[in-house]
Chain A
Amino acid sequence: MSKVIWLFSFVFIVIAGKAQYTGYKPLADAGSFKEQFARASLQTNSIKSDFVQEKNLSLLSEKMISKGKFWFKKEALLRMEYIEPFQYLMIINNSNVLIRDGQKENRVNTKSSKLFRQINDIMVDCVKGSALANPDFTVRVFDGKQAFLVELSPVAKNVKEYFRTILVTVDKKDYTANSIEMNEQSGDNTVIHFINKELNVNIPDALFAIR
């Protein structure tokens, strides 16, 4: 149970498989998109950003907003630091995960858990741009005015239990994620908006250190 609980403490869950999305239409040439996406991903070595997380409780018509800072560095270094209204830190350093919550710290090696590894891959893939090749999902791409919408539907049973879909909006200018929307089986969703993005800035490795 412990592993599962910690998994849920950093997992982001997903949404309903809508057939259509307002403002988007199915992309005719997904191959071209994938090619451009892959090319842009190759040129993105790091991302520094602020984020706003919006948790929507569908039945209660309530939103819970939290804010923080985000760093990503190739190949698989990721740091999410929630600053308000609470402090919470998550670092992914390849297959290692650190979660610091107040005075408590927990370290997990994702090699010891298939589901952990899958979740780890999802998070890094969504940011890195390699989600399109993740075999744990079927992918559909939609075309909008300023962004592409990538719909990830889980295939693996253990992931599907928690995730219905993950929607990633991809900026047409630089092919980086503007937002990640995770839709839960319960009908709730969590949307992370990335703002003030800076690409290819120098980020010290120490930020991702798990000691």
Chain B
Amino acid sequence: MRYLLYVSIFLLLFSCASPYKKLEKTVGDLSCVQQFRPVFTTAMYNAQVDVVGNHISGILLLKTMPDSSIRLVFSAKTGLKFFDFGFTRDSGFKVYYILRQMDKQPFITALRKDFELILLEHTAADKGYLLTGPGLHYYAFPQEKGVNYYITDPACHQLIRIEKSSRRKVIVEAIMEQYSNGLPDTIGISHKNFNFTIALKRLENNAAR
């Protein structure tokens, strides 16, 4: 029985160990991840959002404004606007509009952090560091809470995945794949601590360009 207790404690400690603990800190050019920052004047994505048993689909429009801030508008396919968020270059965030039923602070905060992750906000090279592991480079950028990791191949040519991590575990995993003209064709965001996923597939934008 006593051994069982020891084993349990050991397993608990082991399972709580940071997945980044075995990585080695090294020197490298942190600005290389900036090539994965989505670049657009306007972009439109088919969006599927699943949040704790609810499915929401719609169109996500991203637009770079003249002051270089980014607006992100999510609407139903039949037209009704769900929300309209703004991200400024100085890390500011503004809710321009959100439907009353969605106006819940935890939901807004989760969306804000998720989109900051894929827009490569808070990735100043002087605030980050580089870790290396087997066949992968982890470009790490400490946040107010936790760390955002942009994980690439050793040559920093390909973005393998993105992770938002607490001290002990990955809490959000994201992918951005099949870049074309500075924009990923596919974006996926998956929360590990609760059932919340966002899947984006780029649409040919036939809006006014």
B122 within 8 A of A: no
B54:A2 contact, CB within 8 angstroms: yes
Using Cβ atoms and an 8 Å threshold, which residues of chain B touch A182?
79
Count of inter-chain pairs, beta carbons less than 8 A: 102
Distance from A11 Cβ to chain B, minimum over Cβ atoms (Å): 6
Residues 18-58 of chain B, each 1 if its beta carbon lies under 8 Å from chain A, else 0: 00000000000000000000000010101010000111111
> In the complex, A64→B77 CA distance in Å?
10
Distance from A52 Cβ to chain B, minimum over Cβ atoms (Å): 10
Q: Choose from B53, B58, B101 the contact partner of A4 (Cβ within 8 Å).
A: B101
The interface size of chain B toward A, counting residues with CB under 8 Å, comes to 35
A59:B96 contact, CB within 8 angstroms: yes
Using Cβ atoms and an 8 Å threshold, which residues of chain B touch A102?
48, 57
Residues 60-88 of chain B, each 1 if its beta carbon lies under 8 Å from chain A, else 0: 01010000000101011111111010000
B44:A85 contact, CB within 8 angstroms: yes
A106:B77 contact, CB within 8 angstroms: no
- Sorting the interface of chain A by its residue count into under 10, 10 to 19, 20 to 34 or 35 or more gives 35 or more
Distance from A83 Cβ to chain B, minimum over Cβ atoms (Å): 12
**9-residue interface stretch from A38-46, A138-146, A171-179, A184-192:** A184-192
B55:A5 contact, CB within 8 angstroms: yes
> In the complex, A176→B54 CA distance in Å?
37
Using Cβ atoms and an 8 Å threshold, which residues of chain A touch B44?
64, 85
Tell me what chain B mostly uses at the interface: helix, strand, loop, or mixed.
strand
Which residues of chain B have a CB within 8 Å of any CB of chain A?
Answer: 42, 44, 46, 48, 53-59, 61, 63, 71, 73, 75-82, 84, 96-97, 99-101, 203-208
Q: Show 26 residue pairs from A and B whose CB-CB distance is below 8 angstroms, ordered by the A residue.
A: A1-B101, A5-B56, A8-B56, A8-B99, A9-B76, A10-B76, A11-B80, A12-B78, A55-B59, A60-B73, A62-B42, A62-B63, A64-B44, A64-B59, A82-B77, A84-B206, A85-B44, A85-B203, A88-B77, A101-B48, A101-B57, A102-B48, A104-B57, A161-B100, A186-B81, A190-B80
Which residues of chain A have a CB within 8 Å of any CB of chain B?
Answer: 1-2, 4-5, 8-13, 53, 55, 57, 59-66, 82, 84-86, 88, 90, 101-102, 104, 106, 161-162, 182, 184, 186, 188, 190
- Taking A2-B54, A9-B56, A85-B205 as known contacts, 20 extra A-B pairs with beta carbons closer than 8 A to each other, sorted by chain A number, are A1-B101, A2-B53, A8-B80, A8-B101, A13-B79, A61-B208, A62-B73, A63-B208, A64-B44, A64-B207, A85-B204, A86-B46, A86-B203, A88-B57, A90-B78, A101-B77, A186-B84, A186-B97, A188-B75, A188-B81
